[in-house]
Structure 1
Amino acid sequence: MGTAITTTAATPTAMRTDAGPDLRHHGDAEVRDAGADLVDLAVNVRADTPPRWLREEIAASLTGLAAYPDGRAARAAVAQRHGLPEERVLLTAGAAEAFVLLARALEVRRPVVVHPQFTEPEAALRDAGHEVERVLLSARDGFRLDPALVPEDADLVIVGNPTNPTSVLHPAGVLTQLARPGRTLVVDEAFMDAVPGEREALAGRTDVPGLVVLRSLTKTWGLAGLRVGYVLAPPETVTALQRAQPLWPVSTPALAATRACVAPRALAEAAHAAHRTAADRAHLLTALAELAPYGVKVTGPAEAPFVLLELPDAHRVRRRLRELGYAVRRGDTFPGLGPDWLRVAVRDRATTAGFVAALGKALTQEG
């Protein structure tokens, strides 16, 4: 079973208030300014993206940069994609902006973040002056979510599905047990479009009280540099978040990308990519199983485009992997994990073969 702990909030001007994990460390830091040509297994953006047709859609929008962005068509397209009225949709500069808006716009007394998960939600809450309570799920039971761990009087609960970095896909029925009147339940579905059939998705649901679903288009479509995402929520929540946004928060190229990525053609391509990723992940897991004698354990069943590994002396192994040309994501910056964890992005089979061979060398090298 997991545990619940409370951490003191930072003042709005403070960056850190304790010696805990660095909530601002993200996968791009593993390859940024590396001074080496590394194979990137640290960032969870799908390889070989954005596709040409999407680049052309974005490029075509550049002729309209003299005008202020008009998000109405993109908002309508997102609403149609999820079968929702437009007043339930808010376009954002990526999911990260949505976390900041939630932290600043909602009046909450007892926010709870379920960890291990993406650290920006807690960082945004702390920066906004909130005191944050952590519910830590346990590796012993595969980081499964027990709704009973969440305090009954929590009025904001944030959980990822599938969860970064654990790759765990929580059942929708378990997540909806967290909903209740007077509580905002935020489910981060940034990687849900990488799950075949989007199993366990809550996007589009209007029968769950207080449900807020976040979606990102940056992972599947390779648009991290453009910042594309959206919020699906009750109209009153959308209104509150919108009031906290600056004017014209989403650029014209990002709006063009949003419309393109929720169109039928794109949805079909994303569905195909999800099945291909699942097959590549199965291949990676089979290869990693051969390293079990060296203490490599994989959190499972993995359902996202990345896997979480536990292995002895992971900090040293990560350094060795860099020397061998591979960047992976350290795990000790995620609350609930520690120095013996690494996250690895799923890639094609040739890349996997090279990585697993390098990992084998890193595990057996001395020093």
Structure 2
Amino acid sequence: MNLENLIRPNIRAMQPYSSARDEFQGQAQVMLDANENSLGSAGPAVFNRYPDPQQRAVKQALAPLKGVQPDQTFLGNGSDEAIDLLVRLTCTPGQDRILVLPPTYGMYEVAANLNDVGVERLPLTADFQLSAETVAGIVASEAKLVFVCSPNNPTGNLLHAAAIEQVLRGFRGLVVVDEAYADFAAAPSWLSRLDEFPNLVVLQTFSKAWGLAGLRLGMAFGSSALIGYLNKIKPPYNVSEATQQHALAGLRAEAEFAALREQLLAGRRYLEEQLPALAIVERVFPSDANFLLVRFRTDATSVYELLLSRGIVVRNRTTMPGCAGCLRLTVGTPGENEQLLTALRQLS
């Protein structure tokens, strides 16, 4: 794959904005370059200086944890920023298209629609996997990038690695493997294959297993050349200083991360055991994430509304392809899981 052929010509030629902090590195006694408030900040926290636009400290801390180099890492305002930038990087508005595999995460299509980019859809099978026909369709497609969500949202399952590898070897565009929920799965990350496939981009996030959704910090990993292009087109200071500081603190608390992950997995196993016993539950789909897709025997929207009336908010996915009659249930605290089960028993 020739990466340059996938990048929009105007982006290849453009000069990126150079921020004040891009032009200076190191220590300084007097900083009068960025028109900041040199006197300090209103309020107790001190954030009067712009953050590092390249988030170097966070990337250095992530590199050994993820088994990548810092220059293979992009950090953004949630994974949604990386999704949007990848579409803008490769797809000319009104001309190119992306490829998605429904049912899947809705932001891929939102990013395409926002950028006037077409959307090609090749559905997953009834058990939410890539069929041989779908793989062949992806390989034959002229789309600039394909989004492969694994573990998939809203279904929760890992897509078969052999099928993804066929896509990586045959598709002529970028293959974006969204691993937002990979920390809950008993399978190796595609990060371990990053150097093998120059067209591979892996998305991850601090929002799920790390429990830092409020920070809005997403990660994209790829070749250093591709990451260089993402850094070229991102906003100058896209990740705040507060976010960078809290992310570093989270990375230093790896033992807490592991404990939270294990508690959530235990909660998932408990719900997987309890939900099938309920009369209104038809099927609990296998999950490699921190949620379960559940098909109900009765009208799922009525179940959703009744749960809502009891103060329990879940996700109604019944209108998505292949998800008729389904609600997506996030694993909560032990008490929240019991409240959910109690309410569903009453409905039964």
Q: TM-score range by the shorter chain?
A: 0.7 to 0.9
Q: Does 1:128 align with 2:111?
A: no
Unmatched tracts of structure 1, length 5 or more: 1-61
Between structure 1 and structure 2, the one with the greater Rg is: 2
Q: Does 1:146 align with 2:131?
A: yes
Q: Does 1:102 align with 2:86?
A: yes
Paired with 1:269 and 1:177, the residues of 2 have a C-alpha distance of 37
Match of 1:316 in 2: 302
Say whether the 8 Å CA contact 1:315–1:330 is kept in structure 2.
Answer: yes
For 2:208, give the aligned amino acid: K
Say whether the 8 Å CA contact 1:110–1:153 is kept in structure 2.
Answer: no
Change (3 A) 1:335 1:254: farther
Match of 1:276 in 2: 263
Say whether the 8 Å CA contact 2:148–2:177 is kept in structure 1.
Answer: yes
Change (3 A) 1:284 1:135: same
Q: CA deviation at 1:178?
A: 1.2
Q: What secondary structure sits across from 1:168 in the alignment?
A: coil
Say whether the 8 Å CA contact 1:147–1:177 is kept in structure 2.
Answer: no
Residue of structure 2 aligned with 1:201, choices 186, 189, 202: 189
Q: Does 1:307 align with 2:292?
A: yes
Tell me the alpha carbon deviations over residues 322-365 of structure 1, each in whole angstroms, 9 at most, x when there is no partner.
12221111103544434x110001123332222112112224xx
Paired with 2:132 and 2:73, the residues of 1 have a C-alpha distance of 27
Say whether the 8 Å CA contact 1:283–1:349 is kept in structure 2.
Answer: no
Change (3 A) 1:240 1:107: farther
For 2:183, give the aligned amino acid: D
Change (3 A) 1:241 1:334: farther
Match of 1:92 in 2: 76
Q: Does 1:341 align with 2:326?
A: yes
Structure 1 residues 1-367: aligned runs within 5 Å: 63-70=45-52, 71-107=55-91, 109-139=96-126, 142-146=127-131, 148-150=133-135, 151=137, 152-154=139-141, 155-180=144-169, 182-195=172-185, 199-205=187-193, 206-263=195-252, 265-266=253-254, 268-291=255-278, 293-300=279-286, 302-311=287-296, 312-332=298-318, 334-338=320-324, 340-363=325-348
Paired with 1:94 and 1:172, the residues of 2 have a C-alpha distance of 25
Say whether the 8 Å CA contact 2:151–2:181 is kept in structure 1.
Answer: yes
For 1:132, give the aligned amino acid: V
For 1:240, give the aligned amino acid: Y
- After TM superposition, the score normalised by the length of structure 1 is 0.74
Say whether the 8 Å CA contact 1:288–1:296 is kept in structure 2.
Answer: no
Paired with 2:312 and 2:78, the residues of 1 have a C-alpha distance of 27
Say whether the 8 Å CA contact 1:194–1:273 is kept in structure 2.
Answer: no
Paired with 1:294 and 1:86, the residues of 2 have a C-alpha distance of 49
Match of 1:32 in 2: none
Say whether the 8 Å CA contact 1:69–1:252 is kept in structure 2.
Answer: yes
Paired with 2:281 and 2:217, the residues of 1 have a C-alpha distance of 39
Unmatched tracts of structure 2, length 5 or more: 1-43
Say whether the 8 Å CA contact 2:91–2:117 is kept in structure 1.
Answer: no
For 2:237, give the aligned amino acid: W
Q: What secondary structure sits across from 1:92 in the alignment?
A: strand
Amino-acid identity (%) = 31
Count of residues in Structure 1 that have an aligned counterpart in Structure 2: 293
